[in-house]
Amino acid sequence: MANTETALKECLSSIDGATAVALVDYTSGMALGTLGGGKDFNLEVAAAGNTDVVRSKLRTMEHLGLKEEIEDILITLNTQYHLIRLLKGRGGSGLFLYLVLDGSRANLAMARHQLRRIEADLEV
Protein backbone atom coordinates (compact mmCIF):
# COMPACT_ATOMS: atom_id res chain seq x y z
CA MET A 1 0.00 0.00 0.00
CA ALA A 2 1.29 3.43 -0.95
CA ASN A 3 0.62 6.61 0.98
CA THR A 4 -0.35 9.82 -0.81
CA GLU A 5 3.18 11.18 -1.19
CA THR A 6 4.54 7.90 -2.53
CA ALA A 7 1.64 7.53 -4.98
CA LEU A 8 2.08 11.08 -6.32
CA LYS A 9 5.81 10.54 -6.78
CA GLU A 10 5.13 7.28 -8.61
CA CYS A 11 2.73 9.08 -10.97
CA LEU A 12 5.38 11.60 -11.98
CA SER A 13 8.20 9.09 -12.24
CA SER A 14 6.44 6.17 -13.93
CA ILE A 15 3.95 7.83 -16.29
CA ASP A 16 5.61 9.17 -19.45
CA GLY A 17 4.84 12.83 -20.02
CA ALA A 18 3.41 13.45 -16.54
CA THR A 19 4.10 17.03 -15.44
CA ALA A 20 1.80 17.46 -12.44
CA VAL A 21 -0.42 15.36 -10.19
CA ALA A 22 -2.75 16.02 -7.29
CA LEU A 23 -5.00 14.07 -4.94
CA VAL A 24 -8.16 16.13 -4.54
CA ASP A 25 -11.21 16.02 -2.29
CA TYR A 26 -14.10 17.01 -4.55
CA THR A 27 -16.48 17.60 -1.65
CA SER A 28 -14.32 20.47 -0.34
CA GLY A 29 -12.26 21.33 -3.43
CA MET A 30 -9.03 20.99 -1.46
CA ALA A 31 -5.91 19.29 -2.74
CA LEU A 32 -4.70 16.74 -0.20
CA GLY A 33 -1.37 16.47 -1.94
CA THR A 34 0.29 17.93 -5.02
CA LEU A 35 3.49 17.37 -6.97
CA GLY A 36 4.73 19.18 -10.05
CA GLY A 37 3.17 22.16 -11.74
CA GLY A 38 5.20 25.36 -11.44
CA LYS A 39 5.01 29.11 -11.72
CA ASP A 40 3.13 28.91 -15.03
CA PHE A 41 0.70 26.25 -13.80
CA ASN A 42 -0.87 26.65 -10.36
CA LEU A 43 -1.78 23.09 -9.47
CA GLU A 44 -3.82 24.11 -6.41
CA VAL A 45 -6.08 26.32 -8.56
CA ALA A 46 -6.38 23.65 -11.27
CA ALA A 47 -7.24 20.97 -8.71
CA ALA A 48 -9.88 23.13 -7.04
CA GLY A 49 -11.37 24.12 -10.40
CA ASN A 50 -11.65 20.52 -11.52
CA THR A 51 -13.86 19.75 -8.53
CA ASP A 52 -16.53 21.72 -10.42
CA VAL A 53 -16.04 19.44 -13.43
CA VAL A 54 -16.48 16.32 -11.29
CA ARG A 55 -19.50 17.67 -9.41
CA SER A 56 -21.16 18.79 -12.63
CA LYS A 57 -20.71 15.42 -14.30
CA LEU A 58 -22.01 13.56 -11.24
CA ARG A 59 -25.06 15.85 -11.11
CA THR A 60 -25.74 15.36 -14.82
CA MET A 61 -25.50 11.59 -14.47
CA GLU A 62 -27.95 11.72 -11.57
CA HIS A 63 -30.44 13.82 -13.59
CA LEU A 64 -30.16 11.36 -16.47
CA GLY A 65 -30.71 8.42 -14.16
CA LEU A 66 -27.41 6.81 -15.14
CA LYS A 67 -26.39 4.15 -12.62
CA GLU A 68 -22.82 3.84 -13.88
CA GLU A 69 -19.61 4.98 -12.21
CA ILE A 70 -17.17 7.44 -13.72
CA GLU A 71 -13.77 5.90 -14.39
CA ASP A 72 -12.00 8.85 -15.98
CA ILE A 73 -12.72 12.33 -17.23
CA LEU A 74 -10.39 13.45 -20.01
CA ILE A 75 -9.80 17.04 -21.05
CA THR A 76 -7.63 17.55 -24.11
CA LEU A 77 -5.89 20.85 -24.77
CA ASN A 78 -3.60 21.82 -27.63
CA THR A 79 -0.47 20.58 -25.85
CA GLN A 80 -1.74 18.77 -22.75
CA TYR A 81 -4.03 16.05 -21.50
CA HIS A 82 -5.76 16.49 -18.15
CA LEU A 83 -6.93 13.20 -16.69
CA ILE A 84 -9.27 12.98 -13.71
CA ARG A 85 -9.63 9.56 -12.08
CA LEU A 86 -12.27 9.14 -9.38
CA LEU A 87 -11.08 6.84 -6.59
CA LYS A 88 -13.24 3.91 -5.61
CA GLY A 89 -11.36 1.75 -3.10
CA ARG A 90 -10.39 1.95 0.57
CA GLY A 91 -11.51 5.39 1.73
CA GLY A 92 -11.33 6.90 -1.74
CA SER A 93 -14.94 8.07 -1.82
CA GLY A 94 -15.07 11.77 -2.62
CA LEU A 95 -11.50 11.84 -3.94
CA PHE A 96 -9.90 11.97 -7.35
CA LEU A 97 -6.44 11.86 -8.84
CA TYR A 98 -5.75 14.71 -11.23
CA LEU A 99 -2.93 14.13 -13.70
CA VAL A 100 -1.50 16.60 -16.21
CA LEU A 101 0.34 15.13 -19.19
CA ASP A 102 2.49 16.68 -21.89
CA GLY A 103 0.62 15.71 -25.05
CA SER A 104 3.78 15.36 -27.12
CA ARG A 105 5.34 12.78 -24.77
CA ALA A 106 2.39 10.96 -23.24
CA ASN A 107 0.77 7.70 -24.23
CA LEU A 108 -2.78 8.21 -23.02
CA ALA A 109 -3.71 4.52 -22.91
CA MET A 110 -0.61 3.66 -20.87
CA ALA A 111 -1.18 6.64 -18.57
CA ARG A 112 -4.72 5.44 -17.83
CA HIS A 113 -3.45 1.91 -17.20
CA GLN A 114 -0.70 3.09 -14.84
CA LEU A 115 -3.04 5.48 -13.02
CA ARG A 116 -5.43 2.56 -12.35
CA ARG A 117 -2.53 0.54 -10.95
CA ILE A 118 -1.40 3.42 -8.72
CA GLU A 119 -4.99 3.93 -7.53
CA ALA A 120 -5.23 0.25 -6.57
CA ASP A 121 -2.12 0.58 -4.38
CA LEU A 122 -3.08 3.92 -2.82
CA GLU A 123 -4.14 3.92 0.82
CA VAL A 124 -5.89 7.11 1.86
Where residue 78 sits, what CATH number does that domain have? 3.30.450.30
Overall average pLDDT of the 17-24 stretch: 96
- On whether the CB atoms of residues 108 and 72 are closer than 8 A, the answer is no
- On whether the CB atoms of residues 7 and 89 are closer than 8 A, the answer is no
- Tell me the range of 5-9, 37-41, 87-91, 109-113 where mean pLDDT is highest: 109-113
CA dihedral angle for residue 106, residue 107, residue 113, residue 117, rounded to 10 degrees: -30
CA 67 from centre of chain? 22
Give how far Cα 35 sits from Cα of 13, 54, 66, Å. 11, 20, 34
pTM value? 0.92
As for how many domains the chain has, the answer is: 1
CA 85 from centre of chain? 5
Of the candidates 99, 72, 87, the residue with the CA atom closest to the CA atom of residue 124: 87
Q: Is the pLDDT of residue 89 over 70?
A: no
Instruction: Evaluate whether residue 113 is within a structural domain.
Output: yes
Instruction: Evaluate whether residue 124 is within a structural domain.
Output: no
Instruction: Evaluate whether residue 78 is within a structural domain.
Output: yes
Instruction: Tell me how far apart the alpha carbons of residues 98 and 81 are, in angstroms, rounded to a whole number.
Output: 11
Confidence bin at 43 (pLDDT 50/70/90): very high
Instruction: Tell me how far apart the alpha carbons of residues 108 and 7 are, in angstroms, rounded to a whole number.
Output: 19
Total residues belonging to the chain? 124
CA 15 from centre of chain? 13
Instruction: Evaluate whether residue 26 is within a structural domain.
Output: yes
Instruction: Evaluate whether residue 18 is within a structural domain.
Output: yes
What's the domain range around 71? Answer: 2-119
The pLDDT, as a whole number, for residue 1 is 58
Instruction: Evaluate whether residue 42 is within a structural domain.
Output: yes
